[in-house]
């Protein structure tokens, strides 16, 4: 109310002043406003009970994690195995494995030789990059013995890596781009059939350097991804674009937008202020024996992001403030005019229930 009165009086005075006077008065009003707001910020904040937080806000951390897990489930169970033949050729590795002791290693035949039905190619491009292609066409079975997967579609992967050195400093540059086209298949487990398919493209690139004398490093990476994945009848859509810089002390994520749709649920994350991870915090985070393998803890010590969502026909928005740089588990969630203080080392169960 005091600020409103001040602004109202200032507006009346400004209408009767020349330009220079108006600029001076506007500066005074701005400084006064900052002073008043700073006083208000120092007042104690009444935090809302965590039970009043929406289920969407509670579910956000779990859903962001599960989106990665769904990719992992699709990738590790089938895609990685299917790429094995391609990567063996591209890396020039043997189809066997190494056994023996320290000074005596013997290459023996793989007891479970995986036979791929894909057509694989490797092309060295004029720009120094290499393109790998795995093409299953309309579909075929691959595997070993009676253990087989049905695979279909096509996968492209382009990769370029450069390394140089100046004195004690090593420089690295890398670029990758991938694309899938109806790439998927089926596998069988205990009488159940699970189908999956992927369509989309992604790009990843960056530069880094390492000083071997000072033992410090720095660099950045940027990425974008637009893809759709169907796994066991559920459609996952992903879109992301971002850039992160880092050194031996911290990493900073600046522009970043990430959104995904799972079934009928939609989430979008937008960075409002840089998200900072402090590597030294790993030394001070308390270890919680019972929950150490399950517990999520804030990967950022500062920064803010806005989350937009649509779920069950209802749309909403909330923001997450990761703090002021201290190594702690505290985050603040702003939603519907309320402020929630969350200690992830104690309140984690709330987010697992959703």
**pLDDT value of residue 221:** 95
Whether 9 and 82 map to the same domain: the answer is no
Q: Identify the DSSP state of 301.
A: S
**pLDDT value of residue 147:** 79
Nearest to 341 by CA among 40, 39, 44: 44
Whether 260 and 303 map to the same domain: the answer is yes
Whether 324 and 257 map to the same domain: the answer is yes
Sign of dihedral through CA atoms 90, 94, 95, 101? negative
Question: Is residue 132 situated within a structural domain?
Answer: no
Whether 244 and 268 map to the same domain: the answer is yes
Q: Are the C-beta atoms of residues 318 and 310 closer than 8 Å to each other?
A: no
Q: Coil, helix or strand for 43?
A: coil
Whether 25 and 166 map to the same domain: the answer is no
Q: Are the C-beta atoms of residues 265 and 235 closer than 8 Å to each other?
A: no
Whether 72 and 17 map to the same domain: the answer is no
Sign of dihedral through CA atoms 252, 254, 259, 265? positive
Rounded CA gap, 331 and 342, in Å?
5
Output the furthest CA–CA distance in the chain (Å, rounded). 94
Question: Is residue 123 situated within a structural domain?
Answer: no
Whether 74 and 25 map to the same domain: the answer is no
Number of structural domains in the chain:
2
Nearest to 350 by CA among 327, 337, 336, 331: 331
**pLDDT value of residue 298:** 53
For 57-93, what is each residue's pLDDT tens digit?
887 765 554 444 443 333 333 333 333 333 333 333 3
Q: Coil, helix or strand for 39?
A: helix
CA 147 vs. chain centroid, Å, equals: 34
18 token code pair: 């020349």
Question: Is residue 129 situated within a structural domain?
Answer: no
**pLDDT value of residue 313:** 82
Question: Is residue 334 situated within a structural domain?
Answer: yes
- 66's CB contacts (< 8 A; 6+ apart) are 262
Question: Is residue 96 situated within a structural domain?
Answer: no
Whether 11 and 65 map to the same domain: the answer is no
Torsion angle (degrees, nearest 10) of CA 65, 70, 76, 78:
180
Whether 231 and 204 map to the same domain: the answer is yes
Q: Is 195 left (phi over 0), alpha (psi -120 to 50) or beta?
A: beta
Question: Is residue 94 situated within a structural domain?
Answer: no
**pLDDT value of residue 322:** 92
Rounded CA gap, 56 and 66, in Å?
14
Helix runs in 42-118, H state only: 55-74, 80-91
Rounded CA gap, 278 and 302, in Å?
9
Q: Identify the DSSP state of 79.
A: I
Rounded CA gap, 302 and 330, in Å?
10
Structural domain range at position 30 = 2-36
Residue pointed to by tokens 């991938």? 178
Q: Coil, helix or strand for 118?
A: coil
- 52's CB contacts (< 8 A; 6+ apart) are 338, 340
Q: Coil, helix or strand for 126?
A: coil
**pLDDT value of residue 4:** 36
Whether 213 and 340 map to the same domain: the answer is yes
DSSP lists the bridge partners of residue 111 as: none
pLDDT averaged per 10 residues, the chain (length 354): 36 36 35 40 76 84 50 36 34 36 54 86 96 96 84 96 96 96 84 88 96 94 94 90 93 89 87 91 55 52 93 89 88 95 78 58
Residue pointed to by tokens 């970043």? 256
Angle, helices 19-41/2-14, rounded to nearest 10 degrees: 180
Angle at 274 between CA 269 and CA 279, to 5 degrees: 105
Whether 282 and 313 map to the same domain: the answer is yes
Per-chain mean pLDDT for the chain: 75
Q: Are the C-beta atoms of residues 171 and 163 closer than 8 Å to each other?
A: yes
DSSP secondary structure of 254-286:
EEEEEEEEETTEEEEEEEEEEEEEEGGGGGTSP
Question: Is residue 203 situated within a structural domain?
Answer: yes
Whether 306 and 171 map to the same domain: the answer is yes
DSSP secondary structure of 165-179:
EETTEEEEEEEEEEE
Question: Is residue 260 situated within a structural domain?
Answer: yes
């Amino acid at each position: 109310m005091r600020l409103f009165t001040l602004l109202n009086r200032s507006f009346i005075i400004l209408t009767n002043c020349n330009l220079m006077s108006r600029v001076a008065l506007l500066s005074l009003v701005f400084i006064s406003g900052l002073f008043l707001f700073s006083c208000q910020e120092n007042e104690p904040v009444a935090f809302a009970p965590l039970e009043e937080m929406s289920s969407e806000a509670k579910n956000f951390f779990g859903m962001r994690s599960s989106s990665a897990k769904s990719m992992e489930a699709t990738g590790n169970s089938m895609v990685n195995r299917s790429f094995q033949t391609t990567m063996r050729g591209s890396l020039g590795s043997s189809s066997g494995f190494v056994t023996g002791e320290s000074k005596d290693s013997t290459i023996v035949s793989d007891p479970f030789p995986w036979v791929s039905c894909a057509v694989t190619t490797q092309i060295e491009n004029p720009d120094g990059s290499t393109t790998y292609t795995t093409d299953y066409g309309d579909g075929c079975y691959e595997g070993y013995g009676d253990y087989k997967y049905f695979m279909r579609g096509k996968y492209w992967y382009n990769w370029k890596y450069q390394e140089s050195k100046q004195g004690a400093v090593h420089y690295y540059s890398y670029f990758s781009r991938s694309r899938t086209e109806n790439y998927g298949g089926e596998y069988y487990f205990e009488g159940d059939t699970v189908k999956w398919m992927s369509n989309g493209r992604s790009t990843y690139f960056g530069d880094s350097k390492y000083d071997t004398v000072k033992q410090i490093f720095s660099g950045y990476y940027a990425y974008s991804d637009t893809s759709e994945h169907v796994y066991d009848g559920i459609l996952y859509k992903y879109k992301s674009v971002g850039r992160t810089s880092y050194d031996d002390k911290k990493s900073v994520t600046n522009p970043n937008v990430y959104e995904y749709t799972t079934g009928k649920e939609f989430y979008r994350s937008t960075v409002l202020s840089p998200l900072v991870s402090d590597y030294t915090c790993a030394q001070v985070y308390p270890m919680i024996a019972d929950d150490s393998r399950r517990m999520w803890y804030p990967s950022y010590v500062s920064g803010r992001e806005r989350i937009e969502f649509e779920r069950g026909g209802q749309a909403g928005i909330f923001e997450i403030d990761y703090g002021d740089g201290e190594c702690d588990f505290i985050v603040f969630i702003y939603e519907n005019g309320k402020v929630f203080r969350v200690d992830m080392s104690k309140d984690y169960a709330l987010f697992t229930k959703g």
